[in-house]
Amino acid sequence: MATERTTLVGCGVRDVTPPAGTWLSGFAARRSPAVGTHDPLCARAVAFGDGRSTLLAVVLDVIGVDEHLARTVREGLRARSAVRLDDIVVVATHTHGGPAVLRDAFLGPVDEAVVAAMAEGAVMAGLDAVADMSPATLEHAVGHQPDVAHNRRVPGGPIDPRVQVVRARREPGHDVVLVSYACHPVVLGPDNLLFTRDYPGFLVDGIERRLPGATAVFLGGCCGQVNSGHPAHASVEARSVPQRTYAQAERIGETLAEAAVGALASARQVESAPVRAARSLVDLPMSPPPTEPSADKARWLAELEADPPPGDGRRGWLEGYVAWAERYPEPRGGAIEVPVACWSVGDLRLAWFPGEVFVEQALELAGAIPGPLVCVANAEAAPGYVPHPSAYAAGGYEVQEAYRFYGTPGPLAPEASTRLDAAMRALLDELSGR
pLDDT digits (tens, 9 = 90+) for 93-131: 999 999 999 999 999 999 999 999 999 999 999 999 999
Question: What residues have CB less than 8 Å from 39, skipping those under 6 apart?
Answer: 195, 196, 197, 201
Which residues form the domain of 310? 289-331
Residue 16, domain member (yes or no):
yes
Residue 295, domain member (yes or no):
yes
Asked if residue 328 has pLDDT above 60, the reply is: yes
Distances (CA, A) of 187 to 23, 193, 199, 231, 281: 19, 13, 7, 12, 33
Same structural domain, 119 and 161:
yes
pLDDT tens digits, one per residue of 206-243: 999 999 999 999 999 999 999 998 877 766 666 667 78
Same structural domain, 298 and 386:
no
Whether residue 78 contacts residue 85, with contact meaning beta carbons closer than 8 Å, is answered with yes
Same structural domain, 152 and 295:
no
Same structural domain, 204 and 318:
no
How large is the average pLDDT for residues 332-342?
93
Same structural domain, 228 and 308:
no
Same structural domain, 247 and 375:
yes
Same structural domain, 12 and 97:
yes
Residue 404, domain member (yes or no):
no
Residue 246, domain member (yes or no):
yes
Residue 409, domain member (yes or no):
no
Same structural domain, 244 and 316:
no
pTM (predicted TM-score)? 0.95
Question: What residues have CB less than 8 Å from 374, skipping those under 6 apart?
Answer: 164, 166, 178, 180, 219, 348, 349, 350, 351
Whether residue 412 contacts residue 388, with contact meaning beta carbons closer than 8 Å, is answered with no
φ, ψ of residue 208 to 5 degrees: the values are -65, -30
Determine the Cα–Cα distance for residues 9 and 390; give it in Å rounded to an integer: 39
Same structural domain, 228 and 263:
yes
Same structural domain, 378 and 254:
yes
How large is the average pLDDT for residues 48-65?
97
Same structural domain, 376 and 258:
yes
Same structural domain, 322 and 177:
no
* Number of folded domains that form the chain: 2
Residue 403, domain member (yes or no):
no
How large is the average pLDDT for residues 38-42?
98
